[in-house]
Amino acid sequence: MDVKSLATLGFHHAKNHMTQSIYLSSGVNWTKPITFCGLVTHQCNLNCGFCFDRKDVDPSKEMSFEEWKRALLSIKDLVGGYFISFSGGEVMLMKWFPDLLRFCADNGIKGGVLTNGTAINDVTAPRLVGADPFEISLSIDGPTAVVHDRIRGRMRAFEMVTRAVRMFRQERDRQGRSFPIIIRCVINAINLKHLADMPRLVKEIGATAIVFQPVHEIAPNVMPEWQKFTKAPSSGLKDNFWIGSEQAELLESKVAELLALKAAGAPIMNTERDLELLSYHFSGEKPANMARTCTVALRNFFIQPNGDVQFCHDWPAIGNLRQQSAKEIWRGPHAEDLRRQSLHCEKQCLVNCSAQRTLLEKASMAIHLLKEG
Ligand SMILES: C[S@@+](CC[C@H](N)C(=O)[O-])C[C@H]1O[C@@H](n2cnc3c(N)ncnc32)[C@H](O)[C@@H]1O
Ligand code: SF4
Ligand code: SF4
């Protein structure tokens, strides 16, 4: 990853922080979205027990390649160059996805991808790497096949994803590119005792760094196919994946291990604060010094496969990119109404993909990526 791209992103983030303050103090909206996430499809070939994407949406209602290109240019018209992370479902089930990434690179848009790695092979790895990605992320939920395959609901899932990381690394070096390969790991009751082994795996397979994220109870039940695969006696998400009070001490000790590994130079991208907040996430308690205002509505632009745009996954759509431009959506009265309401959202999420970070935390994450190469 190059210094110039990170510096440009840093500049946009600093500007967003400033316009957020103006909005909060005066109500004048000069904000532009800064965090873009594009969910390309709900379709997927795995059955991870905790997955929040329930795949029950009709694929014929999802945006086509042409519609995505129009949507991406419409955003560019609102904000100029930007970074967008593509996810799903499983993006690599869309045969045209590498071409969408290439389209981004050709139009001054930095595109990243999050994949489960199962569809990466001799053909798709060179195509994705050749599309000039800004980053490639892969989900790995355990340091061994026993742990990862159980969580992911499919035999050989670990073998496929670790092979995918190695192929990306090899292909990246062969094509002389410099994007980071990031591992994403969902912390839950099944992998808790193995977490401290993850940084070692990251190095072993040639990835750049790891980001941990706690499991969220978005649906009350696990995926039915996962329950069949594992023969788990309960269908409850909490029964299978939540870290309850009986494991609170183990969680504390694992957080301490991860903090020590990070301090010793392990490639863990989470901030110290992210890791310290984990026990609050699972216990449901709120730390005393927590900010009461949620600012996702001043910075996030999450696009669903059908073109709906949201600030965060828990709030209704602010518009739809099939029918409106990004400018009309962001500046429209409907978005403004939801924006004002969401500032006082009762949920007060702690550690999630919408998490609020200080500029210093963002800078430290960027420096980490530069150091790890
Ligand atoms: C929905 S997946 C889509 C991308 C791709 N299929 C994958 O698994 O990497 C996006 C990310 O969300 C994570 N995820 C899914 N359900 C979650 C939950 N209930 N809580 C926290 N993270 C979750 C996945 O592990 C993955 O890293
Ligand atoms: S791979 Fe797993 S986490 Fe990703 S979308 Fe599919 S079921 Fe969900
Ligand atoms: S507190 Fe959580 S649910 Fe509420 S708007 Fe913020 S991110 Fe969304």
CA atoms within 13 A on the CB side of 345: 18
What pLDDT, on a 0 to 100 scale, did the predictor assign at position 175?
A: 98
> CA-based angle 24:28:34, to the nearest 5?
70
Task: Write the pLDDT tens digit of every residue in 61-95.
Answer: 999 999 999 999 999 999 999 999 999 999 999 99
186 lines ligand 2 (CB under 6 A): no
Mean pLDDT, all residues of the chain: 91
Say if pTM beats, i.e. exceeds, 0.85: yes
Instruction: Tell me the pLDDT tens digit for each residue of 169-179.
Output: 999 999 999 99
Q: Is 161 near ligand 2, meaning CB less than 6 Å away?
A: no
229-274: pLDDT as tens digits: 999 999 999 999 999 999 999 999 999 999 999 999 999 999 998 8
d(C-alpha 71, C-alpha 211), whole Å: 29
308: left (phi over 0), alpha (psi -120 to 50) or beta: beta
Coil, helix or strand at residue 181:
strand
Interval between CA 51 and ligand 1 midpoint (Å): 6
Give the sheet arrangement for strand 135-139, strand by strand: 209-214, 181-187, 135-139, 110-115, 83-88, 35-41, 300-303, 308-310, 319-320
End-to-end CA distance of the chain: 7
Quote the ligand 1 centre to 87 CA distance (angstroms). Answer: 9
Are the C-beta atoms of residues 214 and 281 closer than 8 Å to each other?
A: yes
Structure-block tokens of residue 130: 């050749």
Higher pLDDT, 31 or 286: 31
For position 354, what pLDDT does the model report?
45
Q: Give, using CA atoms, the residue closest to atom 16 of ligand 1.
A: 51
CA distance 26 to 210: 39
Counting ligands in written order, the one closest to the CA of 222 is: 1
Q: Encoding tokens for residue 300?
A: 């996030």
Range from 42-56, 81-95, 196-210 carrying the lowest mean pLDDT = 42-56
